[in-house]
Structure 1
Amino acid sequence: MFEPEYTILPDYAPLYPQLPFHYKNYRKLSVYCRGERAAIERFLPKQFEYAGDVFEIFVLTNPEISGLTPYSEGGIVIPCKYRDIQGGYMAYEYVDTDESLCAGREIWGYPKKLADVTFEENEGKVQGRLVRKGKTIIDISVDLDDTQVDQPNLFPRLIVKRIPKADVYGVDVDQVILNEFENVVIHSRETGSAQANWEYSSFDPLAELGPVEVLGGVFVVADYTLNYGKVLTR
């Protein structure tokens, strides 16, 4: 007999299963850029402190996830600090399935939106692209020529989870969440010279992070487990 999961809607046919989610052989392309402090600080919530001028633009594809339909995603991760914890804030994140969208927003507070995601691997080159509302808001590529890049510390993830009130303007929930990846296994890691472009959109103003200096890119194939986070403020 079906037992409803009352923490997930709708009761009789939940959109996504209970955690944890196990990701296998995900393929992630990351491009690291140096930007101006003033531009980066505009993207940080008031709870977080500026922690560096090198941030990540990424596109990835998840071919196998326990309980979820495979999906692809991309976004922007900015180094930040909360109290004595340094990590990475997901300033913008885009996915191409409703399961991932709702699970990410409802459980942890990741600021996910739907977009068209393209991920391509060719001999010696990997490319990723996000298109939303007719604008190419992320367009990155890496030539796998062993160019090295110093990656900033972007883990654990630090997120602001907000849920609006239903009866008046305001929020019922405004929490800082710490989310760590578990059981990480790196199968391969390649580096190279990178390119990054974006088209300005008033709906998704990622381009306001520019102008930037592109430092290089990393292509990783790996596994990890995504589990519940830790609430740092209530």
Structure 2
Amino acid sequence: MRADQIAHRLSTPLTSPAYPPVVPRFTDREYLNIVYRTDADALRAVVPEPLEIDEPLVRFEVMRMGDVTGYGPYTECGQAIPVRLGDQHGEYLHAMYLDNFPATASGREISAYPKTVGAPRLYVDHGVLVGTLDYGTLRVATATMGYKHHEFDLAEARAQISVPTFMLKIVPGYDGTPRVAELVRTEITDVVVKQAWTGPARLQLFEHALAPLADLPVREVVSASHILTDLTLAPVTPVHDYLEEAR
């Protein structure tokens, strides 16, 4: 293989890429969102500067991807933290757990999504929308919400899931020091909200050494939503270079 051909490859392994060269379109992406209040000190310990926190809130999410170009259906779960960068409000993606390896690899390599292995589920059980996350054989999170109790404003639902998203992109060098250390920003585009609902909700997080969602403990459930949408993910843009700051 010629050197100029290698220079245009985007993923490894070279001859059997871990993920497809597509910009994925999500059709029938279903969200269970539970916003809860947590400990301010716990948030400050994990949210990177220069992001700032106004209120000690976390959005726990379980997302069932009905159909994704290049990847097929899969399920994802994680925590997003409302933050501010200057006068811009958004969310910092703290943790994400997936049951699809290509989506995990592409999210980490192409963008900066903090994705790792997990076994999330989203389903309905006796009139209750249930979202769970298992890590290996152990339960890490259980979320429940009354199934479609009250309609939720579609514009408000769209605003909830389309806020700017901030993430950390860290790539180690071969000597063990960071080669890339950036705060990046992205947001979803081409959003079509098909349904949105709200209702009573509860959330339990369980202690786990390698899936430490419970390090941001649940003190009070603030709100919940159940949203069905189509959307596309936009590329990331660097907004802060930690290595440049350190020089």
Does residue 146 of the first structure (1) align with residue 153 of the second (2)? no
Q: Percent identity?
A: 22
SS of corresponding position for 2:232: strand
* Deviation of 1:9 (Å): 1.8
Is contact 1:93-1:112 (8 Å) kept? yes
Q: In the alignment, does 2:48 pair up with 1:41? A: no
- TM-score, normalised with respect to structure 1: 0.90
**Counterpart in 2 of 1:201?**
208
Report the aligned-residue RMSD. 2.3
Which runs of structure 2 are paired with 1:212-223 in the superposition (5 Å)?
212-223=219-230
* Worse-superposed segment, 119-128 or 53-62: 119-128
Change in 2 beyond 3 A, CA 1:22/1:7: same
Which stretches in structure 2 are left out of the alignment for 5+ residues?
Answer: 242-247
Q: What is the correspondence of 1:1-234 to structure 2 with a 5 Å cutoff?
A: 6-122=9-125, 124-144=127-147, 145-146=149-150, 155-166=163-174, 168-234=175-241
For structure 1, list consecutive stretches of 5 or more residues without a partner in the other structure. Answer: none
Q: Could you list the per-position Cα deviations for residues 152-184 of structure 1 after superposition, in whole angstroms to 9, with x for gaps in the alignment?
A: 967210111101112x22211111111110100
What amino acid is the match of 2:107?
A: G
TM-score by length of structure 2 reads 0.85
- Which residue pairs with 2:245 in the alignment? none
Which residue identity does 1:49 align to in structure 2? Answer: E
Structure 2 distance, partners of 1:61, 1:40, is 26
Deviation of the 1:134 alpha carbon = 3.4
More helix per residue: 2
- For this pair of structures, how many residues does the alignment match? 231
Between stretches 83-92 and 172-181, larger displacement belongs to 83-92
1:223 alignment partner AA:
D
The 3-state SS of whatever aligns with 1:28 is strand
Cα distance in 1 for partners of 2:191, 2:114 equals 23
**3-state DSSP of counterpart to 1:184:** strand
Q: Within 1, Cα distance between the matches of 2:122 and 2:236?
A: 28
Corresponding residue SS for 2:107? helix
